[in-house]
Amino acid sequence: MAAVESNMFSLGKEAPSFVLHNPVTNKEESLAELKSDVATVVMFICNHCPYVIHVQEELVRLARDYQARGVSFIAINANDVNKYPDDSPEKMKKVAEEWEYPFPYLFDETQEVAKAYQAACTPDFYVFDKELACRYRGQLDDSRPGNELPVTGESIRTALDQIIVGEEVSIKQRPSMGCSIKWK
């Protein structure tokens, strides 16, 4: 598994809008309706990547912890399902239900949304403030498969805590690392 780092979307840049299909609800959902007046986390994930599987439990815990504080979470899968059938919408629904995702898991079939966010890997994380300006992008925490560090979500938790209280995000922003987005 060759690791790829995230591209580090520009801080202050507005979140690109989107309307994507949710395989769990079988409905189209938009950033405009899913965003929060506190903060919004957009994460590019998939079903098969060992880096995503490594953090799966923390993604659910993180979302539950911060949704209670008004933060919105949105997961997007942009992988080419013809080459990677484990990431198909049907299997996305199964994974979302199995893990009881407390957030929508949307399918970016055209990969246009991933391109607009400059997503490079899974997982790839973006945290936007109430105006949808990017305040944090990068890693979940320092844990990686095989490095023996616990998965804590510390980097995103720190950024969210600072945004919630109206502070500047001061944590060092390090790129996320994972499997590459599987482009068509």
Instruction: Please give the Cα distance from 128 to 42 (Å, whole number).
Output: 8
State the residue range of the domain holding 160: 4-180
Indicate if the pLDDT at residue 1 is higher than 70.
Answer: no
Domain count, the chain: 1
- Average pLDDT of the residues in 7-33: 96
> Would you list the DSSP string of 41-70?
EEEE--SS-HHHHHHHHHHHHHHHHHHTTT
Confidence of residue 69 (pLDDT cuts 50, 70, 90): very high
pTM: 0.95
CATH code at 139? 3.40.30.10
In sequence order, what are the beta bridge partners of 124?
44
Confidence of residue 3 (pLDDT cuts 50, 70, 90): confident
Q: Do the strands 71-77 and 105-107 form a parallel or antiparallel pair, or are they unpaired?
A: parallel
Comparing C-alpha atoms, which of 36, 23, 3, 4 is closest to residue 164? Answer: 36
Confidence of residue 6 (pLDDT cuts 50, 70, 90): confident
Looking at residue 145, its pLDDT comes to 85
Distances (CA, A) of 181 to 45, 70, 71, 144, 152: 9, 29, 26, 17, 24
Indicate if the pLDDT at residue 98 is higher than 60.
Answer: yes
User: What is the overall mean pLDDT for the chain?
Assistant: 94
Q: Do the strands 71-77 and 39-44 form a parallel or antiparallel pair, or are they unpaired?
A: parallel
Confidence of residue 11 (pLDDT cuts 50, 70, 90): very high
Across 45-59, 137-151, 156-170, least confident range = 137-151
Q: Do the strands 4-5 and 19-22 form a parallel or antiparallel pair, or are they unpaired?
A: unpaired
In this structure, what is the dihedral angle of CA atoms 65, 136, 120, 5, given to the nearest 10 degrees?
-100
